[in-house]
Structure 1
Amino acid sequence: MTETLVVGIDGSPESLAAADWAAQEAVRRHAHLHLVHAWPWQHLTESRTLDRQPEADRAERVVREAEAEVTGRYPDLPVSASLVPEAAVPALLRLAEGAEMLVIGTRGHGALRDFLLGSSGQQIIAAAPCPVVSVRGSYAVAGSPRNGEIVVGHQDDADESRAVLGFAFEVAAARRATLRVVRAWSLPPVYAYSPGSMWLAEQLGGVEPYEKVAMEQALEPWREKFPEVPVIEQVRTGSAGQVLLSAAAGAELLVVGRRIRHCPVGTRIGSVALAALHHAPCPVAVVPHAH
């Protein structure tokens, strides 16, 4: 079955940059690209229908122009486009149910914070059942120095990191890129460690070797599945957000995880993913995973 990559478009330069990024990824994966413009029109009285006609025309134009631009650049790529009569968040979350990946555009350092915390972007990223890739318009237009690496943040154990590492290896394999796996650690107050964990770390010669063993164990099945992907392992002291952002300078893509949470109030992305979305100089993929 052919994979589908879904892109949210609204006619902005940021969404067009997202569409172009997704089209390139779809070409590499031999996937289908679906462009979606959500326009929440309402059933109006006859007297008000004419007032909304310019908006309806614009919405249809957004879809036509985005589809024409993508098919013009990638003529062999199977592309579909649709105008969905509902709000962006529920529309994209519904379509993400059957998608391999959801791609959205964001505005940049300052505006991105407002976009995310203003709820739309945050709701999509925090609730999507598939990986969500955030593409900054300025990145695609101006271009950033690229070293051909995919950078992925590794946390927790092999089970919890399975989805994140699997996604990163798939992207690296499709791009024939080097994968840099980054694990950050910092020594917490001694009470935060269980006696068993401290004993095991001491047997391995300290906390850093303990972290390296955890990374190697998590990577082992993925190295076997993707032997063609060159892997660089990096264990550094510091906060996860700072370490990842440093490693991602010049990267093609930064991949981070998001624990699936069912919060009673609002939605959560996680501090590491939020830092990456706010400040990474490259596109950021947020991959949901279970505890």
Structure 2
Amino acid sequence: MAYADLHTHTLASDGTRPPADNVRLAAEAGLSAVAITDHDTVGGLEEALEAGRTHGITVVPGVEISTVSAGEDIHVLGYWIDYKNERFLERLAGLREVRDRRNGMIIEKLQAQGLEVTMEDVLESVRSLKREGDTVGRPHIADALVRKGYVANMAEAFDRYLAKGAAAYVNPPRITPAEAVRWIREAGGAPVLAHPGLYSQDGLIAELAAEGLAGVEAYHADHTPEQEAHYEALAKRHGLLVTAGSDYHGERGGVVFHAPVGARRISAEVVTELYNRRGETTA
């Protein structure tokens, strides 16, 4: 059977590898398809698509959109998007502006607690790797905290400062998950709720299904087996596709985050099914 990993990140957002590496790793893992789903950016897609042609593997053009519902971060994946759609690109640019403001707010909270870290420190190790339209996120801030010796590793940085409820966590206003679903469909894509087991809002699945949600990422590196079974059943109950993704972000300090490419996989038939559930592109 042919398989796909439908959730990976690259240097275009908070991954550590260039897009072509993700595609090569997918081919080496025996996959026939891989999705590139960077946070609020499509900056890595051209490179990934070219690598797909080189390695003979299908690259699904994707994105992961940051939203908020009831004060909680919710991520919505988009597949087969028209990544050159000008309206969609403008919308993503607006999301990156919110992300930049969020990063500045985190730095301010860290400094208020006596940690001598600046945005310059955060950008120090990634500036030469970033291109226009790429994003900077919490993992980059965590990297800076590790380099400056405030924490021992990424996990400690998130636990103490960056995760929800931690000392420097902030959550500025963003679009809603329903808006993200509409944006993705208007960009000709198929929207999927990412890693629902990380939230406390199962009711969202029914709400978003009514808005045009195409699927649920039941199989994810951070889900327990019980959660995977639960969300597969919930997706099927609402007539939604079941997807899987490693949420690969590369390696930091020799540790893979969240899981290696291909660690979570689904039948490649789902790639075609997602294509068939695309929305209609609008100007």
TM-score (norm 2): 0.29
Structure with greater helix share of residues:
1
Q: Tell me which of the two structures has the higher relative contact order, counting C-alpha pairs closer than 8 angstroms and 6 or more residues apart.
A: 2
Structure with greater strand share of residues:
1
TM-score (norm 1): 0.28
